[in-house]
Chain A
């Protein structure tokens, strides 16, 4: 039907309430097909993974893949469904060349799982999507249409069929009608499919690649006048191949249907096809009467009655489900809901879960917090935001550098080192630091490339912060710059005071950093304690770290002989070192 000017989405939503129904098909990652022992590898040459059963040769008979049933139960449990104590397969009869038997062995009256739910996060709100059922069925073969203008079915001259995919196990997950979403219907749908995808991935039952077709979504949309409880006629949109398409397709359908209804028209119950490029849906073959699938129980298979022990075994072996993990971490760390939400948005939950050592997780709250955050971190938190983010590193580098240079200069004053010697020392020190930095970074890169072969907890203990590995490099660069300055200055002593200032400041910050590092990253971790620190806590830590660093600086200075006993004045920076101008 020729849709005239489409409504503005907001207008459509104002006048109508959308009702959604999402059907998601998951291709299971089992080794063999649902009803025969053919392999399911993706990408094999056409018709090389077939047998009498999946080709539907006369006389062939199906056999049920136990692992596929296990995966289906896993999915049902993860979706909080009731697992049927008894279920059976049924034949769904229709003729289509990619369906060799011309019926699909599926489940009709008796699915393996039913009445569950999945909570999804949309704009900070939790929306509970109710699951009607999850059932087992088999995939079809793949047809390639040859000839014709668009390569789609219409106008094709002939088709070529590859049955490698025919019989691959599928689980179909059907939601109950999703109501009350109003304007956020497209986002809810997208969030649902995303959450479902993540869940299925964590269950290790499928590689859930929408682009490869191992996760497929059909979207059912209907509209009812705002406030009217009676559902309208729905359309089913297929070829929704990405998360973004889910959102776009539903959004389009809502506006299209609203336009039709406001025009006084009637929605035809039909299957529509989503076009990626234009973001629109178009009519498939319109069915005046719904297809009659003539379901009846599959007589070649006996019923599936998973015993309670097996189901419990599967339940016990489920990986920690995403929302349960979030709840647990939130409780352990004592985050507020808002903080947890930020963590989720930053995609940092995984890191949180994997870290065996304490993190300083700085989450600003209040204006002071934000200012402090901006000062220290220069803006947005990096991904993960563990420890101190990158922007702080140069600051620390300068402090460390200052400490080192100051001590060098002081030593020069007292120990008779020439400017050139100092410059040389600086350069050599820089070289060592650079080498260290490269080694650390190299190791970091290797770890990344190894695909996380190392236990992430080990990695986190060694590299609590990315900064650690970059630090030596920054230092090295700064040392080289200063060595240049030293040779230029030529020890005229003009910079004695500056050097002194730098050295105090540097030593202080060095030890501040070290103590923070030690106390925040390693000790609690070794003790098995997790820390989390807010803005106030951060300030407190600094307050604790500063005196500690002074103490360490003093001890170090005494040890090196730069400071006489009880020479606190120098330590506090209230007097200049001997010899300074």
Chain B
């Protein structure tokens, strides 16, 4: 074998070895979920819903992730990464169910529900902030479907929270966790107390022949609504 060919093969081998080492180095930078870098997002106390004249029963049919995020569990990539312990869809569903159950607005099953909710999560976690702090954002849209008439209404909800940055990894993780929890709480509150949900419930009460449960409607009809 001529010396030139041998040198060529040697160069090719070195090139492949270098490419391989670069790839493995890049793979090593990719954070992996461990017990230390995984956070659990809990709603805490349930969010009280607004008072409805005719309280319907809700049922969450499904929650779909529409964020387009290939790694929905990865909240923060730098510094070893911070991961969620559950899928954002599961967290949103649990939080909403918890709040609806606390105010006795959750139906036992889909058949007995008055309004069926289909939730589409558009954003869950951190969004791009100023760099000096963490900007937590939870955004979802819900299709509220009247079980009897089949009519649907869209209800949007957004929750935001801004928390301070941190230097130590432990504090960083705690701040991110608190920030996302606050944003989730804010979004659930925005949904349950929103005027869009109120309108959906009013539309449902008009179509269904429900009897007023609270004070007579004429007493409230005299007051102009705030919205």
A-B complex is real:
no
A residues at B contact (CB < 8 Å): none
B residues engaging A (CB < 8 A)? none
